[in-house]
Amino acid sequence: MTDSIRELTILQPDDWHIHLRDGKALGTTVPHAADSFNRVICMPNLVPPVKTVDDARAYRERIMTHLQNSDISAERIAAFDPRMTLYLTDNTTPQDIEMAAKSGIVQAVKLYPAGATTNSADGVTDISACVDVFEALEKYDLPLLLHGEVTQDHVDIFDREKRFLDEVLAQIIIKFPTLKIVVEHITTSDAADFVLAQGNHIAATITPQHLMFNRNHLLVGGIKPHFYCLPILKRESHQKVLLDVATSGNPKFFLGTDSAPHATDKKEATCGCAGCYSASIALPLYATAFDSVGKIDKLEGFASRFGAQFYGLPVNQSTITLVNTPMQVPNAYPYFDGTSLTPLLAGETLPWSIKD
């Protein structure tokens, strides 16, 4: 632990990968996100997915309506800027990309290999058929966000990220050498090394769960459904490398929570959903992870600067203060239709908290 730093004021952070869901879920997820973050990149894997600029604009309006109807402060409402993504499908056209780039609200396009994670059935089935779309992304300087896993049934779930890097992403980079790419929620030393070996147009986001936990936390002593996410937690050796690169001050790595809400009864089920809900406690989680290796002073770059710089956006001017004062994570939050939402580390104590 870093004994010398008991209070840390940083520029207001952004979350470059978040799931807010839709409908009544927004009443819980949007205020939680807006409490800590100014800009958030909203994932498009809704039902139905966000495939067009019109879809994106309508989704953003629904988000803002729920925010304005919440009890969050006027200051936070004014600062909150949800940035949209389009869901890349086999039917996405270069014209869709052009419209997205000119929309002012679409920040990127998201590629889910079909079947890779929650609500990804409409994802891309043949990467080689996306040539025209990738060319348009290059032309309009619109980043491609990747869920970096292959999905063939015979590939071990712990190997799917590395196989994607070797068999898919390497080929995309060769064919489209100036395409800006974010490898989202990286989980392995292989992914960290891959991103480090590329130019500055290739970056990665890292979640709090992949910095703090490994597959032992998920599996030892019984399966822990609230640690189950995709890509799945890996070995401790991979976790340590992710901590190394996240706290290194290298601008290729920045904050993306991948906060993914599922009602508690859906998580704690015979076929539990993949995803960790962290939006409400994300900054204390990241502070705890960084402080665990004595690098709390590196948090501002990772959380507040590097993502904005990669996307060509100004850094935020407002600030938020973290204090080395323990907080207890709530056991659950009220969700919708009488359900509850269980956060990561529910009921446990974190050493860092946000100053009121």
Neighbours of 314 (CB within 10 A): 7
Given 258, 291, 337, 356, which residue is catalytic?
Answer: 258
Contacts of 203 (CB under 8 A, 6+ apart): 181, 182, 183, 195, 251, 252, 253, 254, 306, 310
Give the tokens for residue 274.
Answer: 């993949």
Q: Is 274 known to sit in a ligand binding site?
A: yes
C-alpha 134/C-alpha 127 separation (Å) is 10
Give the tokens for residue 342.
Answer: 């269980």
C-alpha 86/C-alpha 108 separation (Å) is 7
Q: Is 45 known to sit in a ligand binding site?
A: yes
Would you call 129 helix, strand, or coil by DSSP?
A: helix
C-alpha 79/C-alpha 193 separation (Å) is 35
Q: Is 250 known to sit in a ligand binding site?
A: no
* Phi, psi angles (nearest 5°) of residue 32: -60, -45
Contacts of 104 (CB under 8 A, 6+ apart): none
Q: Is 230 known to sit in a ligand binding site?
A: yes
Q: Is 154 known to sit in a ligand binding site?
A: no
Laid out side by side, the sheet with 319-323 consists of 7-11, 319-323, 353-354
How far, in whole angstroms, is CA 220 from its chain's centroid?
26
Sequential DSSP letters for 35-90: HH-SEEEE----SS---SHHHHHHHHHHHHHHHHTSS--HHHHHH-EEEEEEE--T
Q: Is 217 known to sit in a ligand binding site?
A: no
Q: Is 21 known to sit in a ligand binding site?
A: yes
Q: Is 238 known to sit in a ligand binding site?
A: no
DSSP H stretches of helix in the chain: 26-36, 53-68, 74-79, 94-103, 131-140, 160-164, 170-175, 189-197, 208-212, 215-219, 236-246, 264-267, 282-292, 299-300, 306-311
Q: Is 147 known to sit in a ligand binding site?
A: yes
Contacts of 192 (CB under 8 A, 6+ apart): 186, 204, 241, 242, 244, 245, 253
258 labelled catalytic: yes
The single residue listed with the structure tokens 């056209």 is: 93
Q: Is 258 known to sit in a ligand binding site?
A: yes
Which amino acids are annotated as binding site for Zn(2+), given as ranges?
17, 19, 110, 147, 185, 258
Which amino acids are annotated as binding site for substrate, given as ranges?
19-21, 45, 147, 230, 262, 274
Which amino acids are annotated as binding site, given as ranges?
17, 19-21, 45, 110, 147, 185, 230, 258, 262, 274
Active site residues: 258
